[in-house]
Amino acid sequence: MTTIREQTITCPACATSFKVHVVGSCGYAGKDTDLRPQYWGLDPLPLFVHTCPRCLFSGYGAHFEAPVSDELRQWLVEERGLGRLQSDAGSRRYTLAARCREQAGDDNLALADLYLRASWCARVEGDAAMERLSQRRAVERFQRALEAGLVPPDEQTAITYLVGELSRRLGDFELATSYLARVVDIDWADLAGRQLDLARQANDENALMP
Ligand SMILES: [Zn+2]
């Protein structure tokens, strides 16, 4: 079960203090085939990212504990680089976090991971347009990260699989089959083969891990 507690955190960009819910513990049984865990009880995913109510600086707890550059502060506080808060939905806050980390100079692998999580939140929110937009952004950045050699060897199979599986969900079956067919690692081959069959049948539905 998910447990949460209230905590006050301070924005490293504009020094605003505000209360958030942080996750004490959580667990899951099973995953969707894009690796989204199916948590027991309250879904903790939206609670892992926080958004400053004043300048919209967004990120994980660790991002709030690290100093920010003068350039990032100016972009957030003076130039209002992230605009105004449109919604407090988890998908929106993961997207703000991705834009913040992009401005901070994080690599495409880190950005792709945030967009993947935005898509996971959007699915639970029932926001299909946001889910697809976030999946598209994740696929683009995962592909760039793979091409640039940014993905560590022990993550290459999972990321290759994800590009294929997200492309299948987006209805891009050509890209899906090309990436899923590359997954030969023994631990991933059965799952990739199953999703490859779905892609060849032009099936773009959500699916659960076998
Ligand atoms: Zn702030």
pLDDT, tens digit (0-9, with 9 covering 90-100), for 34-53: 999 999 999 999 999 999 99
The rounded Å distance from CA 175 to ligand 1 centre is: 39
The rounded Å distance from CA 52 to ligand 1 centre is: 5
The rounded Å distance from CA 200 to ligand 1 centre is: 47
Of the CA atoms within 13 Å of residue 181, those in its CB half-sphere come to 8
pLDDT of 111: 98
CA distance 48 to 58: 11
The rounded Å distance from CA 60 to ligand 1 centre is: 14
CA distance 53 to 62: 18
The rounded Å distance from CA 208 to ligand 1 centre is: 38
Give the burial class of 123: count Cβ atoms within 10 A of its Cβ; 0-12 exposed, 13-18 middle, 19 or more buried. Answer: buried
Helix axes 173-180, 156-169, angle to 10 degrees: 160
Q: What percent of the chain has pLDDT over 90?
A: 95
The rounded Å distance from CA 15 to ligand 1 centre is: 6
The rounded Å distance from CA 55 to ligand 1 centre is: 4
Higher pLDDT, 210 or 98: 98
Run of H or E including 10: strand 3-10
pLDDT in tens, 153-202: 999 999 999 999 999 999 999 999 999 999 999 999 999 999 999 999 99
Give this prediction's pTM.
0.96
The rounded Å distance from CA 18 to ligand 1 centre is: 10
DSSP assigned state of 161: H
Of the CA atoms within 13 Å of residue 98, those in its CB half-sphere come to 23
What's the pLDDT band for 91 if we cut at 50, 70, 90? Answer: very high
By C-alpha distance, which of 20, 11, 102 is closest to 57?
11
CA distance 89 to 74: 25
**Degrees to nearest 5, angle at CA 47 with 37 and 159:** 40
The rounded Å distance from CA 68 to ligand 1 centre is: 11
Chain-wide mean pLDDT for the chain? Answer: 96
pLDDT of 1: 84
Mean pLDDT computed over 123-136:
97
Reply yes or no on whether the pLDDT at 136 is more than 90: yes
Q: What is the CA radius of gyration of the chain?
A: 18
Task: List all residues 6 or more positions away from 159 whose beta carbon is below 8 Å from its beta carbon.
Answer: 109, 112, 142, 145, 146, 151
Reply yes or no on whether the pLDDT at 209 is more than 90: no
By C-alpha distance, which of 51, 59, 34, 24 is closest to 191?
34
Task: List all residues 6 or more positions away from 34 whose beta carbon is below 8 Å from its beta carbon.
Answer: 116, 119, 120, 135, 162, 165, 166, 169
The rounded Å distance from CA 80 to ligand 1 centre is: 10
pLDDT in tens, 53-82: 999 999 999 999 999 999 999 999 999 999
Mean pLDDT computed over 103-110:
97
